[in-house]
Amino acid sequence: MTPRTRAALVGGVTVAVLIAAWEAAVRMGDLPPFVLPAPSHVAATAVGSAPLLGPHVLTTATEAVLGLALGATVGWLLAVLTATIPTTGQVAQPVVLLSQTIPTVVLAPLMILWAGFGLTSKVVLVALTVFFPVLIASSAAIRDVDAEHADMVAGLGGTRRHQLWIVRLPASVPGALAGLRIAATYAVGAAVVSEYLAGASGIGVFIQRSRKAYAVDQIFVGIALIAILTAVLVLAIVALRRALTPWQPAHARL
């Protein structure tokens, strides 16, 4: 057995034991389903409401993916710009830091007022959550490689433009992807929270409606969907890293 399959097996068994314990606790404790439904009950609800769930999942997934793309692009460009023209970094830094002292959830009502109940406000909110880790990770990646390699290019006769194209831009890619990998774990959560406040569709809307109907089993279905969606996003980004940074050893890409 390889260490990887062993790790996967141990993880799977742990989850199975936890779910079994939950099931047993509900049955033996005789808890009413509107307080804590058993996993089997949640699974049955999920199957029953599946046709209803499709559009909700699609909405949230769209918001998360577009928000990730927008936030990652802005964060990456800002990192490259800052490394190329230090003044932009000095201008951007206070704004960036200030934006991080305000939780994005707090900004959600404003975004909804400005950009409406639809897709735009949620994409912007996800992007606001995502850009910071991408910016930080890209900047760090550029800094790590910079002095030595930039000197190498200059010593061979290269200009500042060569330093940008040959060294800084490619150096930032693994950093940006590492930041994106971290950001992906927040993206779905940020989309769902903004849906709590307003919207006609999305997992957040589904959860809010279920809460109003005291359908605790449906809330659990919503939570499970968020977890699955996040896992799918993270795996997609891991695959993207494998494709875009083929020189990196596998352990550095997780």
Partner 1 sequence: MLAVRDLTVAFPPARGKGDATVALDRLTLEVSRGEFVAVLGPSGCGKSTLLRAWGGLLVERARVSGEIAVPRASDGTRATAWMPQRDGLLPWRRALSNAMVGAIAAGVPRERALPRARALLVEFGLGGFEDAWPHELSGGMRQRLALLRTCLTERPVLLLDEPFGALDPVTRRRMNAWLASVGLVSQDGERAVALVTHDVDEAITLADRIVVMSGRPGRIVHEVQAHGESRYDREALLASLDA
Residues forming contacts to partner 1 in the complex (CB under 8 A) are 148-149, 151-158, 162, 166-167, 170-171, 173-174, 245, 247-249
CB closer to partner 1, 79 vs 111: 79
Residues 175 and 248: their CA atoms lie apart, in Å, by: 12
CB closer to partner 1, 24 vs 152: 152
CB closer to partner 1, 174 vs 204: 174
Q: How far is the CB of 139 from partner 1 (least distance, A)?
A: 18
Q: How far is the CB of 161 from partner 1 (least distance, A)?
A: 10
Q: Which phi and psi (to 5°) does residue 45 adopt? A: -60, -45
Residue 205's nearest CA partner among 222, 187, 227 is 222
Tokens of 57: 């999942």
Q: How far is the CB of 169 from partner 1 (least distance, A)?
A: 10
| CB-based contact 69:131 (threshold 8 Å) | no
Q: How far is the CB of 68 from partner 1 (least distance, A)?
A: 23
Q: Which phi and psi (to 5°) does residue 40 adopt? A: -65, -35
CB closer to partner 1, 41 vs 149: 149
| CB-based contact 80:138 (threshold 8 Å) | yes
For residue 40, give every residue at least 6 positions away whose Cβ sits within 8 Å of its Cβ, in sequence order, or none. 23
Q: How far is the CB of 136 from partner 1 (least distance, A)?
A: 21
CB closer to partner 1, 138 vs 218: 138
